[in-house]
């Protein structure tokens, strides 16, 4: 499937958010995905993920995580310096700032003539942000790929964003994806997340646990990438977001 890709600037309280919008070529409309990257922002690897989802029949809107500071417009390298810069960008961003930017992008998507329903997805830190997107009643379905900080609340500058404590506010469908060898979301962290969701009445949450999957196993750069598990995770996510 051929795609159209556009770079747009989404107005937000602290300034415009650089956002990539990818959709199938031709006439829509299609469901929309607010897609959060990992800490490295809009790398070619993240754009390949966005293209893969767009080719499945979605309008994918992928904003920068840190659009208002020194990392605006920067795609970080997958090395130690890039990792430290990405972590520093997160540490300088409050939950309130993440939330304000999310609202701005969802507002843009809601007005987009080619977008029908709103959904969300994200990887790593972006998986946590996707869960927070699920708190917006406009979001019909959300997929969180190995969300970091969700089990203990850690998000950016805030030691506890209180995300799980608001699980009962999620109105849409929810899917979580984990790998068994993820040190950032180990078994006890996964249990804590599921216990909180069940306590909030979210027994219908889909959980996909992939044996042998490391953290960021879906990032198609580096030794942690597992192509077979990635294909499975995308197939399940696409089916889920399309409302099966």
Active-site residue list: 124, 182, 215
Tokens in use for 210?
Answer: 């992939």
Is the bond preceding residue 29 a cis peptide, omega within 30 degrees? yes
Tokens in use for 151?
Answer: 């089990």
3-state secondary structure 109-165: HHHCCCEEEEEEEEECHHHHHHHHHCCCCCEEEEEEECCCCCCCCCECCECCCCCHH
The phi-psi region of residue 162 (left if phi > 0; otherwise alpha if psi is between -120 and 50; otherwise beta) is: left
Separation CA 220–CA 38 (nearest Å): 12
Convert 2-37 to b/e letters by CB count within 10 Å (16 or more is b).
eeeeeeeebebeeeebbbbbbbbeeeeebbbbbbbb
Neighbours of 159 (CB within 10 A): 10
Q: How many residues does the chain have?
A: 244
Residue 43 three-state SS: coil
């Amino acid at each position: 499937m051929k795609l159209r890709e556009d770079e747009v600037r989404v107005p937000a309280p602290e300034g415009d958010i650089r956002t990539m919008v990818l959709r199938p070529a031709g006439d829509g409309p299609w469901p929309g995905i607010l897609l959060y990257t990992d800490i490295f922002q809009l790398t070619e690897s993240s754009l390949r993920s966005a293209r893969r989802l767009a080719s499945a029949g979605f309008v994918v809107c992928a904003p920068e995580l840190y659009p208002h500071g020194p990392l605006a417009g920067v795609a970080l390298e997958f090395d130690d310096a890039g990792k430290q810069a990405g972590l520093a960008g997160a540490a300088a961003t409050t939950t309130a700032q993440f939330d304000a930017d999310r609202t701005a992008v969802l507002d843009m998507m809601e007005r987009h003539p080619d977008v029908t329903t709103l959904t969300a997805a994200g990887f790593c830190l972006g998986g946590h942000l996707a869960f927070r997107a699920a708190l917006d009643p406009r979001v019909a379905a959300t997929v969180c790929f190995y969300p970091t900080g969700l089990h203990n609340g850690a998000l950016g500058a805030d030691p506890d964003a209180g995300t799980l404590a608001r699980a009962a506010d999620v109105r849409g469908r929810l899917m979580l994806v984990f790998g068994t060898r993820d040190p950032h979301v180990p078994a006890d962290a996964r249990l804590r997340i599921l216990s909180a969701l069940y306590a909030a009445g979210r027994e219908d949450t889909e959980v996909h646990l992939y044996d042998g999957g490391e953290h960021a196993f879906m990032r198609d750069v580096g030794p942690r990438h597992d192509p077979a598990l990635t294909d499975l995770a995308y197939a399940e996510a696409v089916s889920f977001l399309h409302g099966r």
